[in-house]
Amino acid sequence: MKDEKPILLVEDDLVDMMSVKRALRDLQVTNPLHHVGNGEEALAWLRDPKNPRPAIILLDLNMPRMNGHEFLAIAKKDEMLKRIPVIVLTTSKTEVDKVQSFELGVAGYMAKPVDFQQFVDVMRTIHLYWTLSELPD
């Protein structure tokens, strides 16, 4: 990821969080990973001036308190947050979730594979894409 900016992972499942950490480590991604458990915590983290702006947000959809779609509806209207790229990383393969996510401004939508090596491949794709992409400041 660019400039060693952090990656914000919004994920309530600890096993999935550990899979992301392990995949990033296997890919030798050195960006710091910050983890929060739902959309409310993500908004609080993003709005805290002590925290750096992340290079990318990896967002689960199905979470308690504030799910991914609710988070997107708020974040993409916020002038300070709307240009941060968001990749949905979820178990949901429903067309409704995909359409709603893109209507709310996501940069990508990836289904979490069950197989760890396939999961690493998904994370490699995300890393490669955002390493090559030109992002606004």
Confidence of residue 1 (pLDDT cuts 50, 70, 90): very low
* pTM as predicted: 0.92
For residue 134, the model assigns a pLDDT of: 67
Give the residue-averaged pLDDT of 98-118.
Answer: 92
Give the rounded percent of residues in the chain with a pLDDT score beyond 90. 77
Domain boundaries, the chain: 2-130
The CA distance from 62 to 81, in Å, is: 21
* pLDDT one-digit tens code per residue, 42-90: 999 999 999 999 989 999 999 999 999 999 999 999 999 999 999 999 9
Q: What is the mean pLDDT of the chain?
A: 91
CATH code for the domain defined by 2-130: 3.40.50.2300
Residue 113 has pLDDT above 90, yes or no: no
- Per-residue pLDDT band at 119 (split at 50, 70, 90): confident
Q: Please compute the mean of the pLDDT values over residues 3-11 and round it to a whole number.
A: 89
pLDDT at 118 exceeding the cut of 50: yes
The whole-number pLDDT of residue 114 equals: 83
Residue 137 has pLDDT above 80, yes or no: no
